[in-house]
Amino acid sequence: MKKSLQKLLSVLFVLTGVLAFSACSSDDDGPKSYPVKVNLTFADTLSFDDASHVQLFVTSQIGTDTFDLASGTLDLILKQGTYSFSVKGKMKDEANAYLSGLKANVPVYGEVAVEVPVAKVLESTLIIKTIYNNCAKMGYLKDTFLEIVNNSDEVQYLDGVIIYAPAGGQSQENAWQANGCLDKYPVGQGAVVQFPGTGKEHPLLPGQSVIVANDAANHKELSGDEKCADLSNADWEIYLDYHAAEVDYPNTPNLKVLWSNNKYMFAFGLGLSARAYVLARLPEGMTGEAYAEDPENSMPTPGTTSTTKYMVFPAKYTLDAVDVWDPDNENPYPTFLPQDDKAGIPSGKMWSGTCERRKVSKVVNGRKYYQDTNNSAEDFLNKQPLVEQ
């Protein structure tokens, strides 16, 4: 009995030792974790408060973890290994500006402080792909349209996007430029329109485009000319409800008319062979109606006695701008700042039924990406057929 008890105790002792050894081995041989302090360092005069929706992406061989940042620092506990830290956010009051940063190949084998340099970058997201303003039938101006494309690799939303049409096609500086108003663009004669929606009602997938028609009708039938555009399947329509001659085609949703300074303009962006076009987005939380109602956002032409007011938009609200010049204009003068459009594209011949279309920069897995260097003269082709080749 005594020997049996001693033998049992010996077995238990051995088992206890094995278990204890196994536990220690697991702690000693497994990956260790260390505190990591991530600090964003900002270029120029930027600060964390200039951006919104800032996220940190921490990537290792295992995968990527995403963290929403409330400040420019974050304390983490990471297992030993090599990591990359990337940052992305949206600049609060600049339509196509983002916060971006990267610190790659950081070894974490002890307590580490990681400095991630971040800067403001401009990204091509929603841009104008096609401008059809050279109507096919003499005197027939109802079949004009714009095509807008998502040129990014992420879903973009049309909700709240504003379209307006400055006079453009100028041969010398305009009155605003001559009077020192260089960072605001005045809308032209006519209307300012906006896509409806509260934020994420109208998604546009990467590479997808929409047609915005002045009149969503079959203009081949209405005009009696086969060269005119059939826009009965357009995605959106600009219905100017203040003009008695306008027809609302009910099968196509309408953009909102935010503002107008000329109730006699029966179509949006009329300018025959010369006009400029802008896509703009207001800062988050600001509605188009509130912007239009603020008297600070409209003004008469400076340096003149005219009382006609024009809504003005800061250049930083611009998503995309394209200046279309009369082909006979030998001395064109830029409508926009260089970061929005360095030089315009000469229009095709009026009544030719052609359009201006953005060049394809590359094709990836069958998807076209469109050139966007903020220079219409380089980015666009004129005299293009209605159907993309």
**Helix, strand, coil percentages, rounded to 5, for the chain:** 15, 40, 45
Q: What pLDDT, on the 0 to 100 scale, is given for residue 111?
A: 97
Which residue's entry shows tokens 């403001």?
120
What's the average model confidence in pLDDT over 236-264? 94
High-pLDDT (> 90) share of the chain, %: 82
Q: What are phi and psi of 294, to 5 degrees?
A: -75, 115
Given a cut of 50, is residue 21 above it in pLDDT?
Answer: no
What's the average model confidence in pLDDT over 13-18? 43
What's the average model confidence in pLDDT over 250-255? 97
Q: What is the pTM of this model?
A: 0.88
Q: What pLDDT, on the 0 to 100 scale, is given for residue 160?
A: 98
236 near 213, Cβ under 8 Å? yes
Q: What pLDDT, on the 0 to 100 scale, is given for residue 220?
A: 96
**Residue, of 28 and 299, whose pLDDT is higher:** 299
What's the average model confidence in pLDDT over 256-261? 95
The 10s digit of each residue's pLDDT in 376-385 is: 999 999 999 9
Return mean pLDDT, the chain. 91
Q: What pLDDT, on the 0 to 100 scale, is given for residue 26?
A: 42
The 10s digit of each residue's pLDDT in 193-247 is: 999 999 999 999 999 999 999 999 999 999 999 999 999 999 999 999 988 889 9
Given a cut of 60, is residue 276 above it in pLDDT?
Answer: yes
What's the average model confidence in pLDDT over 95-122? 96
Which band of pLDDT confidence, cut at 50, 70 and 90, is reported for residue 15?
A: very low
Which band of pLDDT confidence, cut at 50, 70 and 90, is reported for residue 24?
A: very low
Q: What is d(CA 163, CA 281) in angstroms, rounded to the nearest whole number?
A: 9
Q: 252-256: long-range contacts (C-beta < 8 A, 24 or more apart)? A: 252/213, 252/216, 253/196, 255/163, 255/193, 255/194, 255/195, 255/196, 255/212, 256/193, 256/194, 256/195, 256/196, 256/288
Which band of pLDDT confidence, cut at 50, 70 and 90, is reported for residue 11?
A: very low
Which band of pLDDT confidence, cut at 50, 70 and 90, is reported for residue 30?
A: confident
Tell me if residue 78 falls in helix, strand or coil: strand
311 near 186, Cβ under 8 Å? yes
Q: What pLDDT, on the 0 to 100 scale, is given for residue 28?
A: 58
Distances from the Cα of 313 to the Cα of 68, 257, 276, 282, angstroms? 31, 16, 14, 9
**Residue, of 272 and 21, whose pLDDT is higher:** 272
